[in-house]
């Protein structure tokens, strides 16, 4: 469970947060941050969040597992405790090279021990200096076993077999991008080479992610602080399919045997399980301290890179992300609790189209009865018995701004004048944005009306109501725009725009308007066809229509201010819909542009 890993991070005094990755990176990233930054909060200051480490894996659980391990390393460094106690009761030794012990986390003790040993071997292998390797071929070089790691980038990830360290295969990955000063590299050790390839790709992606993160301006450290492993020269090739398809049956036993054969033993200390997550620290030391092994690690011939012997946190800085002064992207501080958006996410999941499961009914208009087909062309309401109706068929062509003028001039908060809209302006706006503009033949007995705004399935799930306050030739009141008859039909004239404005989020702004467009979603009009996805299409239809209204109003020289800040239940009751089958979704304020105001 992801929550087990997350709890193990927090119990060590740190916090984990998800790091959004560029869409061309196919992986999941988590960052380790101070415990004070654990809570998701709305921070309008966009305060920096310091990063202590970065983890990249195929999924969230894998990334959190890495953070558990790195949190333990930081905790050890900060406490100054480098001595270990073997899980079998043997005493370990103090660190002699100033490096912290390797830490492993897993679902079992054996898995955690294996991960810790692999990390220690990989550190030794990387520090030994790597120049040659066998290129792994057979797939796109940006691929890992789980799929494409980088998509659509100008570069590649090469993967290499780098021989063995203490009898354990080493796998390296080199990321070469044209815009990088030099390749980024990573090395891992793993008895199962196919898994090692995947881990190496994820490790080099981590190096890449680190290079993309913002840094403190006062940090002068090298942006590529990852040791001497810079590039690899291929001395041969091997196909990925030739690598062992399965891991060893007894991985931990096999690992210990190979270490023993090469004169090493693992000194392990249990750091404390958190629920079902095992956590251990590990060091490798000679199997017999008095007799150096004749079969020692070949990578040790040149000796590991020398480090200071004080064992302090600063001495480990060459591989410490925190040393770079990295900061999380600012969008991490403009966030929310998952429960705040849970229903929206459930809606989105339920509205996905899954054609493989046949979630949408197959609709063939030709097989529908004539009355049913005619219903498709009646996507409107009709207040035909209204006390007042106004034709919206203006004479003559409107004087419109050009498209480039409309795009440059449109501003929601442009100043409105205190004058009136003309009836002709309102008529042009409504007919050009949502009036019937033509017809399509559907079968032999049906002509479906077409409108100026697109709609899913041509079902036109939105209705336009207009609350008039100052329009010449039209008395104040709430009207319905009938798109086929091109009529304004009175719905209610008991409330003024000033009264209605009290139930919006911008009362003063709404009070400046000469009219207000109210968009109502008619869900039944398309959910018979699109089911759960129909709710999404209604919202999209409304967005299309609102943009048409805004664009047309601007072309007429008017100000159009879209607004989503309103009290839903009040507006639903005002219009006369139940808020379930039909609901108010959006508003747009309309007004004349203030004289002389040509800018925003």
The per-residue pLDDT for range 253-274, each reduced to its tens digit, is 999 999 999 999 998 999 876 5
Look at residues 448, 454, 461 and name the one whose alpha carbon lies nearest to residue 375.
448
Which tops the pLDDT comparison, 144 or 412?
412
Give yes or no for a contact between 594 and 512, defined as CB atoms under 8 angstroms apart: no
What integer pLDDT is reported at residue 300 of this predicted model?
39
User: Would you say the C-alpha torsion 369, 374, 379, 384 has a positive or negative sign?
Assistant: negative
Instruction: Give the pLDDT mean for 396-408.
Output: 90
Share of the chain above pLDDT 70, in %: 79
Q: Return phi, psi of residue 241, to 5°.
A: -65, -15
Question: Rounded to two decimals, what is the model's pTM?
Answer: 0.70
Strand pairing partners for 160?
Answer: 135, 172
Q: What is the largest CA-CA distance in the chain?
A: 106
**Banded pLDDT at 310 (limits 50, 70, 90):** very low
Give dist(CA 481, CA 463) in Å, integer: 8
Angle at 320 between CA 313 and CA 155, to 5 degrees: 170
Region of 163 (left: φ > 0; alpha: ψ -120 to 50; beta: rest) is: left
In whole angstroms, give the CA distance from residue 194 to residue 246: 8
For residue 89, what pLDDT band results from cuts at 50, 70 and 90? very low
For residue 265, CA distances in Å to 170, 260, 282, 525 come to 18, 6, 10, 72
CB 515 within 8 A of CB 426: yes
pLDDT digits (tens, 9 = 90+) for 102-143: 999 999 999 999 999 999 999 888 877 777 899 999 865 445
Q: Please say whether the beta carbons of 258 and 156 come within 8 A.
A: no
The predicted pLDDT at position 86 comes to 38
Residue 277: pLDDT band with limits 50, 70, 90? confident
Q: For 467-502, how does the pLDDT look when each residue is reduced to its tens digit (9 = 90+)?
A: 999 999 999 999 999 998 899 999 999 999 999 999
Residue 193 has a pLDDT of: 94
- Which strand ranges, in their side-by-side order, compose the sheet holding 477-482? 389-391, 487-492, 477-482, 462-468, 515-522, 582-592, 558-563
Q: Which helix (H) or strand (E) holds 175?
A: strand 168-177
pLDDT of 275 reads 59
Sequence-separated (6 or more) residues with CB below 8 Å from residue 346: none
> How confident is residue 305, by pLDDT bands cut at 50, 70 and 90?
very low
Structure tokens that stand for 597 in this block: 């105001």
What is the residue-averaged pLDDT of the chain?
A: 82
Phi, psi of 28 (to 5 degrees): -120, 140
């Amino acid at each position: 469970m992801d929550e087990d890993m997350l709890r193990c991070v927090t119990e060590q005094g740190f916090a984990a947060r998800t790091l959004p990755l560029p869409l061309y990176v196919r992986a999941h990233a988590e960052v380790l941050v101070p415990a004070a930054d654990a809570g998701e909060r709305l921070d309008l200051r966009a305060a920096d969040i310091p990063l202590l480490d970065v983890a990249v894996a195929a999924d969230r659980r894998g990334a959190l597992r890495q953070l558990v391990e790195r949190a333990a390393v930081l905790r050890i460094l900060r406490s100054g405790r480098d001595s270990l106690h073997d899980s079998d009761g043997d005493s370990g030794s103090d660190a002699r090279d100033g490096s912290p012990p390797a830490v492993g986390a897993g679902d079992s003790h054996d898995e955690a021990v294996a991960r810790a040993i692999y990390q220690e071997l990989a550190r030794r292998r990387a520090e030994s200096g790597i120049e040659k390797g066998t290129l792994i071929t057979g797939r796109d070089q940006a691929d890992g076993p789980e799929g494409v790691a980088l998509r659509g980038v100008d570069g590649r990830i090469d993967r290499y077999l780098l021989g063995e360290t203490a009898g354990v295969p080493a796998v390296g990955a080199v990321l070469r991008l044209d815009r990088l000063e030099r390749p980024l590299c990573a090395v891992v050790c793993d008895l199962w080479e196919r898994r090692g390839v995947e881990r190496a790709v994820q490790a080099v992606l981590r190096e890449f992610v680190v290079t993309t993160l913002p840094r403190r301006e006062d940090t002068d450290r090298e942006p590529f602080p990852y040791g001497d492993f810079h590039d690899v020269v291929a001395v041969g090739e091997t196909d990925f399919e030739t690598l062992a398809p399965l891991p060893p049956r007894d991985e931990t036993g096999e690992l210990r045997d190979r270490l023993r054969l090469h004169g090493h033993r693992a000194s392990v200390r249990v750091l404390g399980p958190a629920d079902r997550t095992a956590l251990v620290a590990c060091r490798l030391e000679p199997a017999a301290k008095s007799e150096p092994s004749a079969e020692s690690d070949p990578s040790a011939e040149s000796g590991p890179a020398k480090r200071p012997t004080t064992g302090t946190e600063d001495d480990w800085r060459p591989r410490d992300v925190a040393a770079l002064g990295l900061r999380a992207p600012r969008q991490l501080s403009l966030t929310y609790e998952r429960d705040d958006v849970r229903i929206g996410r459930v809606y989105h999941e339920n509205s996905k189209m899954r054609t493989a499961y046949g979630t949408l009914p197959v609709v063939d208009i030709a097989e529908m009865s004539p009355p049913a087909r005619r219903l498709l062309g009646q996507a409107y309401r009709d207040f035909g018995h209204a006390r007042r109706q106004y034709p919206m068929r203006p004479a003559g062509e409107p004087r419109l701004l050009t498209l480039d003028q409309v795009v440059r001039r449109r501003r929601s908060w442009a100043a409105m004048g205190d004058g009136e809209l003309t009836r002709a302006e309102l008529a042009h706006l409504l007919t050009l944005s949502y009036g019937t503009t033509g017809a399509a033949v559907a079968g032999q007995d049906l002509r479906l009306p077409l409108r100026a705004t697109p709609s899913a399935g041509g079902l036109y799930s939105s209705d336009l109501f207009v609350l008039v306050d100052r329009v010449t030739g039209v008395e104040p009141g709430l009207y319905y725009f009938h798109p086929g008859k091109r009529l304004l039909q009175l719905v209610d004239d008991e409330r003024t725009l000033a009264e209605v404005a009290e139930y919006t989020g911008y009362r003063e702004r709404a009070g400046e308007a000469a009219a207000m467009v109210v968009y109502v979603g008619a869900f039944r009009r398309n959910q018979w066809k699109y089911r759960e996805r129909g709710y999404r299409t209604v919202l999209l239809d409304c967005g299309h229509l609102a943009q048409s209204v805004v664009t047309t109003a601007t072309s007429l020289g008017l100000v159009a201010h879209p607004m989503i800040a309103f009290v839903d239940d009040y507006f639903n009751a005002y219009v006369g819909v139940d808020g379930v089958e039909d609901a108010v979704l959006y508003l747009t304020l309309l007004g004349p542009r203030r004289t002389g105001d040509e800018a925003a």
